[in-house]
Amino acid sequence: MTERLGTARAQYNDFRGTAAFDENPATNAVCELAGIDPSQWHVLGIELWGGYEDNGAWLLAVRRTIGADPESLRRLAEANDGAIPVTRFSLPYGRSGADLLSVFKRWNVKAIRGSLSDRNIDLKVTDTVEH
């Protein structure tokens, strides 16, 4: 099966946005959580998904023998119609998307109503209420 990662989407896309994650450079916690050998694989992408009753995550990785440096990855993308072919790894049974989030040093997700995003309208925080 071949599919492009593309942008995140849900059934109705009521909210859409961006995400950023900081790895802890001193560990291979992301690989370890998914049971991936970091000497063999280089993680290039993350998919988190969920709903009312279930959630999970996929790690998208390329074999290190292909090359993990930016120039090798650029050449690989050029040779494959602009997309790097990756292998999708599920988290082991009993692990969740929350488990994956817990291994990152920092992470941030921001989303706004899809109807605003469609019109390229942003939000500006002018007040904060904390509980």
Three-class DSSP category at 3: coil
100 and 37 both lie in a single domain: yes
User: pLDDT tens, 18-48?
Assistant: 999 999 888 899 999 999 999 999 999 999 9
State the pLDDT at residue 31: 93
CA distances to 32, 69, 128 from 63, in Å: 16, 12, 45
What is the spatial distance between Cα 88 and Cα 46, in angstroms, rounded to a whole number?
Answer: 9
How many domains, the chain?
2
18 and 81 both lie in a single domain: no
Asked, for residue 50, whether it belongs to a domain, the answer is yes
DSSP 21: E
123 and 98 both lie in a single domain: no
Asked, for residue 39, whether it belongs to a domain, the answer is yes
Range of the domain at 89: 24-104
- pLDDT band, very low/low/confident/very high, at 120 (cuts 50, 70, 90): confident
CA distances to 61, 100, 124 from 44, in Å: 5, 15, 31
State the pLDDT at residue 94: 85
- Please check the confidence at residue 1 and state whether its pLDDT lies above 70: no
Asked, for residue 2, whether it belongs to a domain, the answer is no
48 and 84 both lie in a single domain: yes
Asked, for residue 72, whether it belongs to a domain, the answer is yes
